[in-house]
Structure 1
Amino acid sequence: MPERIMFVQLKTGHNTDRGPAWISRVRFSKSWQTAYWHGHTLRRGQGMADANFYNVETHEEYWLSGPHRDRADVRYSNVRPQIDDDVREVYEAFLGGAPLPGRHHG
């Protein structure tokens, strides 16, 4: 199962780009249509205003993307993501210029 270090932000219930966010390890199905994160199953969705995945149980909407080296992961706020302990070392190396695992160009 493919696995990536991703920026994840909860969109449901929060103003634009103001929901809690994480830098986390996310596993993806072979088709990349389903993501598994923090015990949640997220499915890729269409037609959502500010999200690209939704929780299959709660229907909460999330934005998942690769983290930005300049930490500009949100567009309209200054929310900083919580960095999961198990990815902290790799993420900090990425911020310093190293590629992320599974991504040859960063």
Structure 2
Amino acid sequence: MYIEYKGDGLAGTAWIGRVHLSKTGKMLYYRDQRFQSLKGGYKANYYDVETGDNYWISGCKKDGDDTLYPGSIEVDEDVREEYWLKIRKKPECVHLKQFRSEGKYSKRRPK
């Protein structure tokens, strides 16, 4: 999953990592953090239950442009091979622990 911290504004620290769901599906777990849904949201869709900080958590995009604006994304070690081989289909990048995302809003195309 793609996880981005939104406590500092629109662009924050971002990771690709493995997220686990609670049995009820109402709680997400990543590392030592617990997240609950904001039940919608435009720039953030989950919050950290302990700190109240906002996050955007979603599936990974195949093109790697998960951020809204240009930024760096760290790939957790335990998902790195799976991410580069199965999601991005770029075996030549499997050694990368971090990459630059151009962002959703950096390449708006005229209609």
TM-score bracket, normalised by the shorter chain, equals 0.7 to 0.9
- The answer to whether the aligner puts 1:39 opposite 2:32 as a matched pair is yes
2:78 paired with 1:86:
yes
| Cα RMSD after superposing both structures | 1.5
Match of 1:20 in 2: 13
Query: Matches of 2:25 and 2:58 in 1, distance apart?
Result: 12
Between the aligned partners of 2:25 and 2:44, the Cα distance in structure 1 is 16
CA distance in 2, matches of 1:59, 1:48: 15
| Unpaired segments ≥5 residues, structure 2 | 91-111
Number of residue pairs matched by the alignment: 89
Percent of pairs with identical residues: 34
Alpha-carbon distance change, 92 to 56 in structure 1, aligned in 2, over 3 angstroms: same
Larger RCO, structures 1/2 (Cα 8 Å, 6+ apart): 1
Give structure 1 regions of 4+ aligned residues with deviation exceeding 2 angstroms: 46-49
Q: CA-to-partner distance for each residue in 1:34-61, whole Å, 9 max, x for gaps?
A: 0001100111113644111101110001
Residues 68-79 of structure 1: pairs in structure 2 closer than 5 A: 68-75=61-68, 77-79=69-71
Choose between structure 1 and 2: higher helix proportion.
Answer: 2
TM-score by length of 1: 0.77
* Pairs within 5 Å for 1:1-20: 6-14=1-9, 16=10, 18-20=11-13
